[in-house]
Amino acid sequence: MIAPFLMAGIGQTKGFLSTAATIHWGLVSCVYSIGYVAFLMRTPASEHLPAGPAGPVFLLLAATEANDVAQYVWGKLFGRHKITPRVSPNKTWEGFIGGWITTAALVWFAGPYFAPIQGAGRAWIAATLPLAGFAGDITMSAIKRDIGVKDTSALIPGHGGMLDRADSLTFTAPLYFHLLAFFSLQAF
């Protein structure tokens, strides 16, 4: 809220709404959403965590990255039908479904070792986390298409920048945190 106020304060009105919205979107997706990862480490000591406070964070990061990798591998092996050709031309339905099944299985079987998830909570996280990862990836791809870049930077050769590696996390982190808090963590 400070940035738009400062723009108004200096009389900047041309493109005000689009500039303020861009700043807001960037802060929400890159700071607020990713901040849920750090917030997971603040899980109260009274909660039973099989792998300690790092366990839920590890599960989130492992599942999110596994989803990206699994979608790529399944897409390369069996991909024939484009899912969003104008936004991300290499994404296929086969990659999406294969990644969803792989990631859901990972969360279902490994989840209880790293986070306090059981029953319905585990099923919800297993079912929705891969969908959120895909949504984050596609959304960030649309933003890059809009501004005319392939990667957000050249920091990681062949992989782009940090945001290219964490794009899925911008959607999975808040979803995972809220599902974990709703189903498993009493203190939140």
Q: Note the pLDDT of residue 100.
A: 98
Q: Kindly state whether residue 25 falls inside one of the protein's structural domains.
A: yes
Has residue 116 got a pLDDT over 60?
yes
Has residue 67 got a pLDDT over 90?
yes
Asked whether 160 and 92 are in contact (CB, 8 A), the reply is no
- In sequence order, what are the residues at sequence separation of 6 or more whose Cβ sits closer than 8 angstroms to the Cβ of residue 91? 71, 75, 82, 83, 84, 137, 138
Q: Kindly state whether residue 83 falls inside one of the protein's structural domains.
A: yes
Q: Kindly state whether residue 122 falls inside one of the protein's structural domains.
A: yes
- DSSP character string of 72-101: HHHHHHH--SBSSTTT-TT-BHHHHHHHHH
Has residue 161 got a pLDDT over 60?
no
Q: Note the pLDDT of residue 144.
A: 77
Mean pLDDT of 166-177: 92
Q: Kindly state whether residue 188 falls inside one of the protein's structural domains.
A: no
Q: Kindly state whether residue 106 falls inside one of the protein's structural domains.
A: yes
Residue 115 in tokens: 């986070």
Q: Kindly state whether residue 164 falls inside one of the protein's structural domains.
A: yes
Range of the domain at 117: 2-183
Q: Kindly state whether residue 131 falls inside one of the protein's structural domains.
A: yes
Q: Kindly state whether residue 20 falls inside one of the protein's structural domains.
A: yes
Round to whole Å and give the CA distance between 10 and 170. 32
Has residue 176 got a pLDDT over 60?
yes
pTM of the model: 0.86
- In sequence order, what are the residues at sequence separation of 6 or more whose Cβ sits closer than 8 angstroms to the Cβ of residue 2? none
Mean pLDDT of 111-122: 92
Has residue 188 got a pLDDT over 90?
no
Q: What does the pLDDT look like over 11-41, one tens digit per residue?
A: 988 989 998 888 888 888 888 999 999 888 8
User: How many domains are contained in the chain?
Assistant: 1
Has residue 88 got a pLDDT over 80?
yes
Mean pLDDT of 51-80: 93
Q: Note the pLDDT of residue 12.
A: 87
Asked whether 107 and 126 are in contact (CB, 8 A), the reply is yes
Mean pLDDT of 123-140: 95
Q: How confident is the model at residue 148 (pLDDT cuts 50, 70, 90)?
A: confident
